[in-house]
Structure 1
Amino acid sequence: MKFNSIRDFLAVAERGSLRAAARQLGLAQPAMTRSIQELEKELGAVLFERRAKGVQLTPMGEVFLRRAKAVRSEFRRAQEEIEQLQGATHGHIRMCLSSVAHMALLPNALGPFRQAFPNVTLDLFDAVLPRVELELTGGTMDFYIGPILGEVSGELTVEKLFDNERVILGRKGHPLSSARSLRDLEGAEWVSTSVTHRAEDELSPLFKQHGLSAPRLVVQGHSALTFFFTVAHSDLLTMLPQQWVQVPLFKGFLQKIDVQESLAAPPICIVRRTGLPLTPAAEYFCDMIRRAALHMDTLTS
């Protein structure tokens, strides 16, 4: 199988049209059509359904798409690894950082990394593991840095950076701001943070542990902006990592509700695909994150 065949397939899948894909790659449409037909013949499967307006992936095409993206990512990594080992400072890293990683680690890691690799482009996502686990196992995401709660795929390697704690946050002047226990918050409505695959698995075990009914989850957030705006402009509560109360940007809008219960948070980890080496630039970025985590330990010890 030729790499050009995979390149052509990906262009058609992503553009949804043989004509658009051919135009993107600077090829004649008949040449693109022959390339796809030869690939389908080699695989013994139909990859696209021809429609009046463009094409659509078949179920077999969807399966091949994931593998093809992984091949493209690995080919890019191989090129960049060789170039970086020869002294180049350019490349591309695709990563996902949780809100904690953004707040507590990125500021101290970004400067040193940019000095070492000034021409590397960072493709950075704000999310938690359930949102990007398939991309990690599929090889299209280099690594994830953030909380891990529960089991992860056997295809992934987890490296713990530090343990963490959570706090309960509400808007300034929240009616429940004087609460001192989870029981005082039993009737509240909550924003969940999507750190688990099922929203109810995030807070319900904690309330059950203290003999309380499950909290009412009315918003499932997927980014720091969602958590901030939904809590700052409503009576919703959320339980977030303690780093949120250390960010000046949020202090004028959110307040911590001090409860007596211990609110342990999932540990912050680096997650990457097992057996898939990072490029020198990506490995260096992870090293800067590790140093930032050690600096945090020094400040709190």
Structure 2
Amino acid sequence: MKDHHLKAWLSLVETGSIRGAARSLHLSQAAITKAIRELEQDLDAPLIVRSSRGVTLTECGHQLTMRVRLAQAQFELARQDIRQLQGGKEAHVSVAVTPTIYVSLLPDVIDAFRKRMPLAELNLEEGMMPLVLPALRDGSIDFAVAAPVHQALAPEFSFEPLQTLEMIVGCRPGHPLAKATEWEQLLDCEWLMHLAPGSHHTDMVGQLQRAGIPVPQRIITTNSFGVTWNLMTRSDALLSCPAAWLSVQPYAQQVTRVPLRMPLPSITLGILSLRDTPLSLAAETMAELFRREIAAHGKKLATGG
């Protein structure tokens, strides 16, 4: 497998046809066809299905595409590292962060990062697990500061636990059940949950069911912090969230902790990355700053105190 094979393959994927790939790379269609055929022979697997409408990737073709794009991303990271070692100023970091981080520590981390790498290009994503895992696979993000259900993570991912977070039930100030102490009192309420596979709420519901504890039936499924927070603070909907949010302004003024006697399953905050895939110098610098800030604010993050 050589460089010209991979360039032909990615061009074919992006353009959707032999003709389009040839035009993009300024080569003949015969050259592209030969490169793809040699790739298939090298891998001993069919990669495309040809038709009058172009080409369609096989399952093997989709897998190759994911890995080739990741390899390209790693080559680009190597270029960035070398330029930095030679005194260059080019660097790019893409990170996904869970709401617990971006409502609390993120500004301090960015400030410290800018003092070290003021000209680096920085991209931040919301750390919802269904989006984080594919982004790690294809190299579009370097790492995530998140709280996955790490016992269920695929072997291709590496998780570095940094802090265990207490979870609470939150409601708006003045909620009719703001002083409830029993779980059963909350079952008839509307709840806000992110129920995608691997999310904390999905894991919490599963743990309650396995313990024989009834779960709420009136659930509004949400997939962003903004929507969830707006509904919780402006309606009687309840939310399971980290206690850490009670220590961050202005959020602390917008939520009240329901004093349940029953503890909720905790979550573990840490750094999630693709196993055996080294970070660039810039990304490792950012990761280390997250480690430092999380360690410095461990108690406040853990309990909100």
Q: TM-score range by the shorter chain?
A: 0.7 to 0.9
Q: Residues 200 and 281 (structure 1 numbering): CA distance in 2 closer, same or farther, change over 3 Å?
A: closer
TM-score (norm 2): 0.81
**1:279 aligned onto 2:280:** yes
- Determine the structure 2 residue equivalent to 1:92: 92
- Determine the structure 1 residue equivalent to 2:207: 205
Query: 1:285, 1:204 → 2: CA distance?
Result: 34
Task: Write out per-residue CA displacement over residues 93-134 of structure 1, whole angstroms, 9 at most, x where no aligned residue.
Answer: 232211112122211110111222223222322124454235
What SS does structure 1 have at the residue aligned with 2:72?
Answer: helix
Greater CA drift, 83-92 or 49-58 = 49-58
Is this contact kept in 2: 1:182–1:261, CA < 8 A? yes
Query: 1:84, 1:140 → 2: CA distance?
Result: 20
Is this contact kept in 2: 1:182–1:207, CA < 8 A? no
Greater CA drift, 147-156 or 12-21 = 12-21
- Determine the structure 1 residue equivalent to 2:160: 159
Q: Residues 49 and 174 (structure 1 numbering): CA distance in 2 closer, same or farther, change over 3 Å?
A: farther
- Determine the structure 1 residue equivalent to 2:115: 115
Q: Residues 94 and 48 (structure 1 numbering): CA distance in 2 closer, same or farther, change over 3 Å?
A: farther
Q: Residues 217 and 82 (structure 1 numbering): CA distance in 2 closer, same or farther, change over 3 Å?
A: farther
> By how many angstroms is 1:193 displaced?
3.2
Number of residue pairs the alignment of both structures matches: 299
- Determine the structure 2 residue equivalent to 1:193: 194
Amino acid across the alignment from 1:92 = H
Greater CA drift, 230-239 or 93-102 = 230-239
- Determine the structure 2 residue equivalent to 1:219: 220
Task: Write out per-residue CA displacement over residues 122-175 of structure 1, whole angstroms, 9 at most, x where no aligned residue.
Answer: 232212445423543565542121213341333333222222112212345434
Greater CA drift, 134-143 or 218-227 = 134-143
- Determine the structure 2 residue equivalent to 1:228: 229
Amino acid across the alignment from 2:26 = L
Note the 1:41-60 alignment, pairs <5 A.
41-60=41-60
- Determine the structure 1 residue equivalent to 2:81: 81
Query: 1:234, 1:95 → 2: CA distance?
Result: 32
- Determine the structure 1 residue equivalent to 2:104: 104
- Determine the structure 2 residue equivalent to 1:27: 26
- Determine the structure 2 residue equivalent to 1:63: 63
Note the 1:169-188 alignment, pairs <5 A.
169-188=170-189
Q: Residues 248 and 14 (structure 1 numbering): CA distance in 2 closer, same or farther, change over 3 Å?
A: farther
Identity of aligned residues (%): 27
Q: Residues 32 and 287 (structure 1 numbering): CA distance in 2 closer, same or farther, change over 3 Å?
A: same
Is this contact kept in 1: 2:150–2:159, CA < 8 A? no
